[in-house]
Amino acid sequence: MRMMHRIVIVALALALAIATGAGAAGQKASIIEAWFIHNESMGDPVGVEKGFFGNLQVQVIGGGPGLSPIDRVMAKARAGEIVFGVDYPYNILEAREKQKLPLVVIAHDFQKSAIHLLSWVPLKSAKDVKGTVATWIGYDKQIKAMIGPGWDKQIKVVNQQGDPATLGAWVNKQYQFAHAMGYNEVLVAKRVVKEKYYVYSYANDFGMRWPENVVFTTEDIVRKYPQIVQQFVTGHYKGLQYALSYRDEAAGILLKYNKNLDKAHEVEGMEFLASIIMTPDTGQYGLGFVDPAAWDRLVKDLAAAKILAAPPNVTAAYTTQFPSGVK
């Protein structure tokens, strides 16, 4: 009888351990990255590999040309899945206003813009930007807002393309200006371009203090699964913090997810990424800090350039409900 009692106790203890232990399988969720998996998205692969999501089973899905994170998130959400995505805040606003999609931003990866403008001529102000500007699909709002009303009389926007790193046509002087991320194309240009050129930061040189690479999901997921949303946000930023602290290891993890990466290039870009991810605000409020003032600046700039047809309900586009707690 005592033996049977012990067996029951041991069985119950084992079942409890399996259900609650670190290795327990929990809810499944997906994160759809804005681009191919590389250093800008390192928080998620590192979070998965280091176990920072706990028992939340996170699938990391890379993006690419023509793959809209918004469309892909909505498809999975409509199928009943728990899903998160990364995109630009103005794309979220546009999707909410024009398509009436119930999207909500839950965190900001980049506290300020990573985008730079490469130019063959020196610029003193936005008025000097005249000619053809190349950028990627969906990344044209900043140049238009920077110039303001009448931008279409001053510039022509074309799709950015050509090797290396989509800079080929600009390097060959097929157009005067091109966009470049501080952690990627800016570094490539520095290595390959031999002639004199100029690099301008939208944030530092043109005062475009917008957040970028925002993490979003749907209003329904926030309402139904707030604990899972919080678990994901915390794991995401624990992964990002670890990656910035152990960069070589993080780059090695990225290579497991994308074998086409150049490890040294990924590590080099992390220095710039740290400068826009880890700021005085995130030191106070935690990584991923959602700054309402940044949204106000974004809407003000878009409205001034007449990119927005009507003032949006900006406060509905984001929530401050899920601080990461990671500093």
Condensed to tens digits (0 to 9), the pLDDT of residues 10-22 reads: 343 433 333 333 3
> Would you place residue 33 in the very low, low, confident or very high pLDDT band (cuts 50, 70, 90)?
very high
pLDDT attached to residue 149: 93
pLDDT attached to residue 86: 98
Residue 318's nearest CA partner among 229, 215, 208, 203 is 215
Is the pLDDT at 311 greater than 90, yes or no? no
What span, in angstroms and rounded, lies between the C-alpha atoms of 196 and 315? 44
pLDDT in tens, 105-119: 999 999 999 999 999
The pTM of this model reads 0.91
Enumerate the β-bridge partners of residue 215.
86, 107
> Would you place residue 49 in the very low, low, confident or very high pLDDT band (cuts 50, 70, 90)?
very high
Does this chain's domain 25-111+210-317 share its CATH topology with 115-201?
A: yes
Determine the average pLDDT of the residues in 164-186: 97
Determine the average pLDDT of the residues in 66-87: 97
Determine the average pLDDT of the residues in 40-64: 98
* pLDDT, averaged across the chain: 92
User: Please, which contacts does 197-200 make with residues 24 or more away whose CB atoms are closer than 8 Å?
Assistant: 197/118, 197/119, 197/120, 198/118, 198/119, 198/120, 198/121, 198/122, 198/123, 199/116, 199/117, 199/118, 199/119, 200/116, 200/117, 200/119, 200/123
pLDDT attached to residue 9: 38
Q: What letter represents residue 72's amino acid?
A: R
Determine the average pLDDT of the residues in 196-219: 97
Is the pLDDT at 5 greater than 70, yes or no? no
pLDDT attached to residue 123: 97
Determine the average pLDDT of the residues in 176-183: 98
| Angle (CA) 109 110 111, round 5° | 115
Look at 36-45, 72-81, 192-201, 302-311 and tell me which has the smallest mean pLDDT: 302-311
**DSSP helix/strand/coil, 83:** strand
pLDDT in tens, 237-289: 999 999 999 999 999 999 999 999 999 999 999 999 999 999 999 999 999 99
pLDDT attached to residue 18: 34
Domain boundaries, the chain: 25-111+210-317, 115-201
Determine the average pLDDT of the residues in 1-16: 38
Sequence-ordered strand ranges (E) for 64-130: 83-87, 103-110, 115-119
| Angle (CA) 222 276 207, round 5° | 105
In whole angstroms, how far apart are CA 298 and each of 181, 244, 276, 293, 295?
A: 19, 27, 17, 9, 5
Kindly state the tokens that stand for 313.
Answer: 């309900």
Determine the average pLDDT of the residues in 139-162: 95
What is the chain's alpha carbon radius of gyration, rounded to the nearest angstrom? 22
The architecture of the domain spanning 115-201 is 3-Layer(aba) Sandwich (3.40)
Helices (H), 85-224: 89-98, 141-147, 151-154, 168-171, 185-192, 219-224
Topology of the domain comprising 25-111+210-317: D-Maltodextrin-Binding Protein; domain 2 (3.40.190)
pLDDT attached to residue 1: 41
CB contact at 8 A, 144 and 151? yes
The residue written with tokens 């999707």 in the block is: 95
In percent, how much of the chain has pLDDT > 90? 89
pLDDT attached to residue 138: 84
What span, in angstroms and rounded, lies between the C-alpha atoms of 224 and 229? 10
- Helix, strand, coil percent content, the chain, rounded in steps of 5: 45, 15, 35
pLDDT attached to residue 188: 98
pLDDT attached to residue 19: 35
**DSSP helix/strand/coil, 76:** helix
Report the Cα 300 to chain-centroid distance in Å: 22
pLDDT attached to residue 308: 84
What span, in angstroms and rounded, lies between the C-alpha atoms of 291 and 144? 23
Determine the average pLDDT of the residues in 182-208: 97
Report which of residues 33 and 23 the model is more confident about.
Answer: 33
